[in-house]
Structure 1
Amino acid sequence: MNEWWVPALVLLLVAVIVIASVVLLRRHRAAATEEPLHAEPEDRPVPAVVANPIRIEPSTRARITATCTSLGWAEPLWLETTVDDPGTGQALAAVEQGADVVLACGGDGTVRSVAQALAGTGVAMGLVPMGTGNLLAKEVGVPSDAAAATRVALTGDDRTIDVGRIRVDGDPDERVFLVMAGTGLDAAIMENTDDALKARVGRLAYFISGFRAMFAPQTRLTVAVDGGTPMRRRSRTVVVGNIGTLLGGLVLMPAATFDDARLDIVNIAPQSFAGWVAVLLRVITRRRHGHRRIEHWQATSVVITTEQPQAAQIDGDPIGEVRELRMRVDPGVLVVRIPAGPEPLALPPGSST
């Protein structure tokens, strides 16, 4: 039986397959040039937001989420702080879940708590300032608008900064601070400033509280820097800073920078209203030389011991009355996302302003 049609059928099928393959390949190439490729959800970088629920409104949360997705990131993991855990546990959970950046959305206390978890991990911290002070965010140039700050957190540059570590009254556990810690007047201001007053008048509440506390009795204490002999001093307040700028842009410690591997210490001891005026003038003019009313030191570690228990604070959070504060610098262990740009954000060590 003549089966000549078999090879003809095979050739016809081969031709159909070749033609169909060419057509499909051309369509695929055309589609690739007309439509950009989109990453699958599981391939997108993941942001996490550690948020103080008291500070953030639903509209702000929606803006942060929209900013993340518009930049090609996945929708953020939302982890809310609590009274018992103001951010450290949530930030640890974010790292464990593979977050590529953790946004601290709240005030300086939330930022400090998130930094407690992220220091040494290499995971970047973004700043979404929602508090009264927002001192670290101001220092590194992060905008106050939530969407703009989120954009910086996702697209900005990485900057490694120092953190301070503090132990109180022999407690073996160290706590992190990023801005300032200390005892005396500044701590009393933080402890006695009414939350309702802050809600009504904002930062002015701190100045009102400060005016009430500035004439409290002086205390006696010792300051030992870098393991040296303790220096006896009278004091209204002694502050140790990783940065030196206060609310309102007042510069308390002009030499302080957040990446110089040093802590800055200032002891303030005016005895009268005239003395406070002199202190204020020195702060405004940013003079940093020794004076009987205001003294400056720089060190990698410092121990402050008071004769009587005194109010103390860490990054603006009151921690009660203490007798001893042991502090040290931990250089370059925290990655912070800052606005992209070629200019350094901190002055070189020893430069004047």
Structure 2
Amino acid sequence: MNKKTIQFIVNPFSGWSSKEGLRDDINRELDHDLFDYVYTETESKGHAIQLAKEAVDRNTDIVVACGGDGTVNEVAQSLVDTQSILGILPGGSGNGFAMHIGWGRNIKKALRKLGQAETKVIDSCTVNNKFFLNLAGVGFDALIAYKADSGTKRGLQMYLGMISKEMLKFKAEKFHVKIDDETIEGNFTTIAVANAAMYGYNFTIAPSADLTDGFLDIVFVHEAPLLRTISSSWRMLNNSLDKSALVSIKRSKEVTITAENPYYFHLDGESFTFEKDLHFKINPKSIKVLFPQSN
């Protein structure tokens, strides 16, 4: 049986206990009867994009993003419409996409599961021609992404503290949203545009998101008094945000969000700014991804 080739693209600044420990785990837990592997590390933001392109050029069978959602984003965008398959070793803080598709947080278990993993072809997305795989959006979540990018610490405790602090002074912005022939206007706490379901830490913003349906889930969290917003937000932990009276969800292949003032947006947890319009688009069945085998 011919072995498959794997390239591990490791973000050394993610939440690994040590890079040496990760490499030891790969040597111990990977099935070397099935795989030959190459180990590479990123040196700067954006470097994983180039490393993944080079892996594709070498006809590498599986390219594994080792890091958080940002690393997954960089690797994945180079694999769109290619024969190379995206794998994930979750090493970031939230790991939203990895959690959504079932990889969990245990690196050793994830490595052992690679040999029995299933390949699925899923949708990917763009916003103003920037790639994303998991989630994008504007509003409070984009503000938190911006604040997190500006800080030096990560982790659940940091995010919860930041959310508590910023929510007390947050003011919803007015947005105009065009979905097909419908225009929606109003003040929204958050508008999330989802391919997958969760931010990370099991905070599920789009409970019905489906990676293979060819549609974006557009989640509107309407402006409300603070206590109602907090109460609604906790629904993200039990997968029931769509049951909140503050939330409405639309589905479409494309959506345009227009802001009245320059504002933040995020994609896969990374923060950006925009002047006026954001145009989101689904790219159906465009990337091959490894999923842990269904039980």
Query: Is 1:279 the counterpart of 2:240 in the alignment?
Result: no
**Which residue does 1:333 correspond to in 2?**
286
Question: In the alignment, which residue of structure 2 is the partner of 1:148?
Answer: 109
Instruction: Return 240-249 or 111-120, whichever deviates more.
Output: 240-249
Q: Which is higher, the Rg of structure 1 or of structure 2?
A: 1
Q: RCO greater where, 1 or 2, for CA within 8 Å and sep 6 or more?
A: 2
1:176 partnered with 2:131: yes
Give, in angstroms, the shift of residue 105 of structure 1: 0.5
Match of 1:109 in 2: 70
User: Segments of 4+ in structure 1 off by > 6 A?
Assistant: none
Residue from 273, 278, 281 that aligns with 1:320: 273
Task: Mark the CA change 1:220 to 1:196 in structure 2 (over 3 Å): closer, same or farther.
Answer: same
Distance, in Å, in 2 between the alignment partners of 1:313 and 1:146 is 27
The one-letter amino acid paired with 2:268 is: D
Q: Which amino acid aligns with 1:245?
A: M
- CA-atom RMSD in angstroms: 2.2
TM (normalized to structure 1)?
Answer: 0.75
String of CA shifts for 1:134-167, please: whole Å, max 9, x gaps.
Answer: 1111111114222322233343111111111111
- Partner of 1:246, secondary structure, is strand
TM-score by length of 2: 0.89
Deviation at 1:131, TM superposition (A): 0.3
Bigger fraction of residues in strand:
2
| Superimposed CA distance per residue, residues 173-215 of structure 1 (whole angstroms, 9 cap, x where no aligned partner) | x2221211011110111111364432xxx21211211122223
Number of residue equivalences: 289
Equivalent of 2:123, from 155, 162, 185? 162
Percent of residue pairs identical: 24
Cα shift at 1:289: 6.0
Aligned to 1:225: 179
Q: Which amino acid aligns with 1:48?
A: Q
Counterparts of 1:1-353 in structure 2, within 5 Å, are 44-55=3-14, 56=16, 57-68=19-30, 70-74=32-36, 76-167=37-128, 174-193=129-148, 195-198=151-154, 202-214=155-167, 215-226=169-180, 228-280=181-233, 283=236, 284=238, 286=240, 288=242, 291=245, 293-341=246-294
CA distance in 2, matches of 1:180, 1:155: 27
Q: Which runs of 5+ in 2 are unaligned?
A: none
Higher helix share: 1
Instruction: Confirm or deny: 8 A CA contact 1:126 1:152 kept in the other structure.
Output: no
Amino acid at match of 2:257: I
Residue 152 of structure 1 contacts residue 338 of structure 1 at CA under 8 Å; is this kept in 2? Answer: no
Unmatched runs of 5 consecutive residues or more in structure 1: 1-38, 168-173, 344-353
